[in-house]
Amino acid sequence: MRLWIERHIIRLTRTMKLRGKIVVFYGLVVFIPTIFFGVGAGYLALQNVRANYMLTINEAVRQTSQSVEFRKQSYDLLANRAGTDGELISRLARTYENMSEQLESANYVDRSFTLMSRYLPGIVDFRIYHANATFVEDGGLLWKPADRSLAGVDEMSWYHSVLNSPFVLQWSNVPGDNAHLIVSRKITNASGNFLGAIYMLLDYDIVFGELMDSPFTGSGSLYLLDEHDRIVAASDRSMIGEPASDTALSKLWASVDRAESIMDGGDYFTVRRLNGEWKVAALIQMRHLENQSAVTVYSNVAITVFFLFLSTFLVLIVLKNVVLRIRKLGDRMSDIAEGDFDVSVQSRSRDEVGDLEIMFNQMTGRLGNLVDMLSSAKLKEKESSFQALQAQINPHFIYNSLSLLQWRALDQGDQIQVETIEALTTFYRFALDNKSNVTLIRNELEHVRAYLDIQQLRYPGRVRAHWELDEDVLDLYSIKLILQPIVENAYIHGRIFTRPDACIAISIKRCNNEVRFQVRDNGIGMDPFTLALIRNGEKAGNGNGFGLSNISERLHLYFGEAGKLKIESTPEAGTVVTIGLPACTDKPHIQREG
């Protein structure tokens, strides 16, 4: 079906110029559908907005009520926790006979309630008032009512109002100050005797201000009323502290007793009740909201049409002159990023993009040559470096010298010297073979055994060698000199010959398609700093790490990411070196680096 449509579209537009094709396609696919659906969506959106205003407003009032109720309950809970603290009640009711007892109780109050008074944001002042004549007031948390001013009233008047109130906990406004609220809570013992009061001065803006200011995008007002229908918080702060019956809400408030929501002309008034007989009231100007929505919808339609015409003009220019040709260049650059340098871009224009296309073609040719040259040079350099390292000693000179020494040792009947020379001969025959950097694993093992035989003759009986070998790996291929340098490190840097019960364990196992070499020793190990240097490919201060970095580099050279070297070491416990490489039945070759 898709191919059939493509063929018919191509046949119909075959005689059209590119500009005509773009105009037709853009008009059919973008311009006309956008105009059609935009106008229809605008009309439906306006109808839906009008139909769902009540639901939206009620949901907003519900969410605001939940937020108000949560905040109020948080401060109520804090006041109740303090006012019902059994230890605090006991200490306020106690008769004190000396200053040390008073200090102990004062310290308890400081320890218990200083942090409590900071649990919630917006607490400006937190006090515990009491009338115990034998107990102190410290001016911090502990106070006694006096004639001092306290948030618009004197302390004694506030204290007696709390004492005489029928409510255990109450909220009140600060007279003449709309920026603060007061939460008061009685402190009584189990018999109901009044012992004191909790006083919390709250920042109005933090507690309720951000919820009440400019609700409904300026098209309505919110009011929070307590159990006495007194306004505790409001969008119009001048109404705070006033009874609802004494404000402009009086008529609406009298009518709302029979229903939770009413319409009064173009205004919608709704009340939602909270726990504890508090209420949240909302007054919304419906006509204002509908006008705003209509203006928004019409503005969106007009803006959409304007930008459609503008985009049509811009698309014709950008698509024809820039975008398609730059996209073609981008595709070719992606080919280069994947390693394909045999790419070019046909250029028929003499503008700036055409010049860029010509320079791009020249760059790809030169870049491909440079990468090939650099890769070849790096491979030759690494191979030559390794071969030069092996060729530093003249093999024939060493073999002739060892043969002479062996002949003299046999002539003298010195069997230990004969065994040492045989081990050296085996060791150097493998190490100085420059014909290939690849060998069978059994040859690598023979080389390591020769080295261990030499060290055993040098340190007789001090180091025990333990072997764990899979027989089926012996005829697989590996690169040369990956085990002997590790074992040598155990002697030179791990000083294993100085350790009690010294042991070097050499394990070669096959795991699926991987051969895993592991050398474990119980030498002196490495400190974390030296281990970090070696893992990062750096040479430690004592020369440790040079052979390991060489092994890691050659593993990567022959096996890429499949060649792995892992080093673990603990000071005074030993070192474990693990090498992983593919199981090779054929000789591996150096991989090309790109």
Amino acid 539: pLDDT: 60
403 pLDDT band (50/70/90 cuts)?
A: low
When the pLDDT of each residue in the chain is averaged and rounded to a whole number, the result is: 80
**CATH architecture, domain defined by 436-582:** 2-Layer Sandwich (3.30)
Mean pLDDT for the stretch of residues 204-223: 83
Three-class DSSP category at 471: helix
What is the DSSP code string of 399-444?
HHHHHHHHHHHHHHT-HHHHHHHHHHHHHHHHHT--S-SEEEHHHH
Three-class DSSP category at 474: coil
List pLDDT tens digits, range 162-179: 999 888 999 988 888 888
Q: Which of 107, 349, 243, 318 is nearest to 234 (CA)?
A: 243
Answer yes or no: are the C-beta atoms of 167 and 183 closer than 8 Å. Answer: no
List pLDDT tens digits, range 244-295: 888 878 777 777 665 577 777 667 888 888 877 888 888 887 776 666 666 6
Amino acid 594: pLDDT: 42
- Enumerate the domain spans of the chain: 84-207, 339-388, 436-582
Query: Inter-axis angle of helices 415-431 and 395-412, to 10 degrees?
Result: 170
Three-class DSSP category at 253: helix
Alpha helices in 176-237 (DSSP H): 204, 210-212
Amino acid 244: pLDDT: 84
Write down the pTM of the prediction: 0.44
Amino acid 293: pLDDT: 65
Mean pLDDT for the stretch of residues 44-64: 73
**CATH architecture, domain defined by 84-207:** 2-Layer Sandwich (3.30)
Which residues touch 473 (CB under 8 Å, ≥6 apart)?
A: 441, 508, 509, 510, 515, 583
Amino acid 254: pLDDT: 74
Mean pLDDT for the stretch of residues 580-585: 92
Integer Cα distance of 105 and 95 in angstroms:
11
Answer yes or no: are the C-beta atoms of 285 and 266 closer than 8 Å. Answer: yes
202 pLDDT band (50/70/90 cuts)?
A: very high
Integer Cα distance of 421 and 428 in angstroms:
10
List pLDDT tens digits, range 336-378: 776 666 666 766 666 666 777 677 677 777 776 777 777 665 6
Amino acid 163: pLDDT: 92
Res. 393: pLDDT tops 50: no
CA-to-CA dists, residue 76 to 71, 168, 190, 524, 538, angstroms: 9, 11, 20, 66, 64
Mean pLDDT for the stretch of residues 488-505: 91
Beta bridge partners of 230: 243
List pLDDT tens digits, range 68-101: 899 899 999 999 999 999 999 999 999 998 999 9
Structure tokens at 193: 């005797």
Q: Which of 264, 304, 265 is nearest to 45 (CA)?
A: 304
The answer to which of 296-305, 390-399, 481-490 has the lowest mean pLDDT is: 390-399
What is the DSSP code string of 317-353?
HHIIIIIHHHHHHHHHHHHHHTT-----------SHH
Answer yes or no: are the C-beta atoms of 140 and 199 closer than 8 Å. Answer: no
Integer Cα distance of 495 and 504 in angstroms:
12
Residue 197: which H helix or E strand, with range? strand 194-203
